[in-house]
Amino acid sequence: MTARGENDSRRNGVPNVTDPSQAEAHVHADAPVARAVVGKKPTAQPGGPVSGLPADGPGTDKKATPFLRRLWTAMRFHPWMYAFILPGLGFFLLFHYIPLLGNVIAFQDYSPFLGITGSRWVGLDNFTALVRDPEVINAIVNTLVISFLQLAFAFPAPIALAIFLNSLLSERIKRWIQTVVYLPHFLSWVIVIALWQQVLGGAGSLARGLELVGIDSVNIMSDPSTFKLLVVAQVVWKDVGWGTIIFFAAISTISAELYESAAVDGAGPWRRIWHVTLPGLLPVTVMLLILQLGNVLTVGFEQLLLQQPAVGAGAAQVIDTFVYFRGIAGGDWGVSTAVGLVKGVIGTVLVLGANRLAKRLGTDGLF
């Protein structure tokens, strides 16, 4: 048969046969090919679906395939991708999830010498002691006040700074300001407190300057009445620059056409910020706010521990420092663990509640 005849005998892979004898010949000729296709092993293209396995589609019932079987199949065809997950997964298991088993100490009169299995079970006595302990109440009040002040002032500060820097036309000035405000983040709290002490302490630059002009010197670093505002100011000074990074990334995703359209419509700089920039930052802001609510009872252990001797426990005692002094220094492990357990439960409830509220208000939420 000629080449043209062969092409005419098959169109789109289907034999064009009119003679029954030719049909039988085609069947016998295609049989080895059919057997080879049936016996072919499944293959997988990098980043694509696995050939020979049912694809995930509208008509595919994923529940019919057990989760572990699907996971094992994915691990077979993408072993290196799952290998990269193992270090991070091991870190969280070893340092975050396994230690959760130690929360059983909250229900015991725990002694390190007896261990968890040998310590006496006391039920909810440690939680009852929390309600009656005035130090716990004082620590909770101080923690909530400082956390509220940080949400009111420290949380929006990076947003304002990012919007301000984005409005600057000079790239040189913008980069110089960014470098200056980023540096404090890399300083430890020991250095930060020492620097603030040299400026606002009793023998600091401010006190000496007031004495030169005939005004009584002040020691802001040891004043309990203004200590909480001082803590918030230190947090803003140290982390406001670092917090602008994620907001800069969010601003860069806003289309320039939106600003141009707003300018054509007659919107000034403030109008463009209100109607273009802030709505563009809303998803990121909601996500960070939800995460911040999860840490509402964590306001900085090292920062407050270093300054507590100067202002006293009445102004600087928070939940984290209470756990340290009562549990590690005082040996009351059961009560301190109960405080930590309550703190974790409240943080989880706040995250879940804030996420659900964000979704009801029309945003994507966190998960």
pTM (predicted TM-score): 0.74
Contact 323, 171 (CB under 8 A): no
Question: For 213-262, how does the pLDDT look when each residue is reduced to its tens digit (9 = 90+)?
Answer: 888 878 889 889 899 999 999 999 999 999 999 998 899 889 889 888 98
Q: What is the CATH number of domain 120-360?
A: 1.10.3720.10
pLDDT at 50 over 50: no
Q: How far is CA 272 from the centre of its chain?
A: 29
Partnered with residue 10 across adjacent β-strands are: 15
Q: For residue 65, what pLDDT is reported?
A: 66
CB proximity list for 237: less than 8 A, separation 6 or greater: 184, 192
pLDDT at 4 over 80: no
Length of the chain: 367
DSSP 11: E
pLDDT at 311 over 50: yes
Higher-pLDDT residue of 262 and 13 is 262
Rounded mean pLDDT of the chain?
81
Contact 236, 146 (CB under 8 A): no
- pLDDT category at 197 given cuts 50, 70, 90 is very high
- pLDDT category at 160 given cuts 50, 70, 90 is very high
Q: For residue 217, what pLDDT is reported?
A: 78
Closest to 137 measured CA to CA, from 314, 310, 304: 314
Question: For 66-79, how does the pLDDT look when each residue is reduced to its tens digit (9 = 90+)?
Answer: 888 888 888 888 88
Among 33-42, 116-125, 157-166, 266-275, the minimum mean pLDDT is found in 33-42
Question: For 17-44, how does the pLDDT look when each residue is reduced to its tens digit (9 = 90+)?
Answer: 444 444 444 444 444 444 444 444 444 4
Residue matched to tokens 């005035």? 134
How many CA atoms are closer than 13 Å to the CA of 106, on its beta-carbon side?
Answer: 19
Among 13-27, 142-156, 343-357, the minimum mean pLDDT is found in 13-27
CA distance 12 to 5: 14
Write the DSSP string, 255-276.
-HHHHHHHHHTT--HHHHIIII
What is the phi/psi pair of residue 109, to 5°? -90, 75
Q: Give the H/E segment covering residue 108.
A: strand 108-109
Partnered with residue 121 across adjacent β-strands are: 108
Interval 270-294 mean pLDDT: 89
DSSP 51: T
CB proximity list for 155: less than 8 A, separation 6 or greater: 288, 289, 292
Q: For the chain, what percent of residues have pLDDT higher than 70?
A: 82
3-class secondary structure, 104: helix
Task: Dig out the tokens for 356 from the structure.
Answer: 């659900």
Write the DSSP string, 171-237.
HHHHHHHHHHHHGGGGS-HHHHHHHHHHHHSTTSHHHHHHHHTT-----GGG-GGGHHHHHHHHHHH
Q: How far is CA 2 from the centre of its chain?
A: 70
- pLDDT category at 11 given cuts 50, 70, 90 is very low
Cβ count near 176 (within 10 Å): 11
Kindly list the domain boundaries of the chain, sorted by start residue: 120-360
- pLDDT category at 172 given cuts 50, 70, 90 is confident
Among 195-204, 305-314, 326-335, 353-362, the minimum mean pLDDT is found in 353-362
Interval 197-221 mean pLDDT: 86
What is the phi/psi pair of residue 10, to 5°? -130, 125
CA distance 270 to 277: 10
Cβ count near 330 (within 10 Å): 12
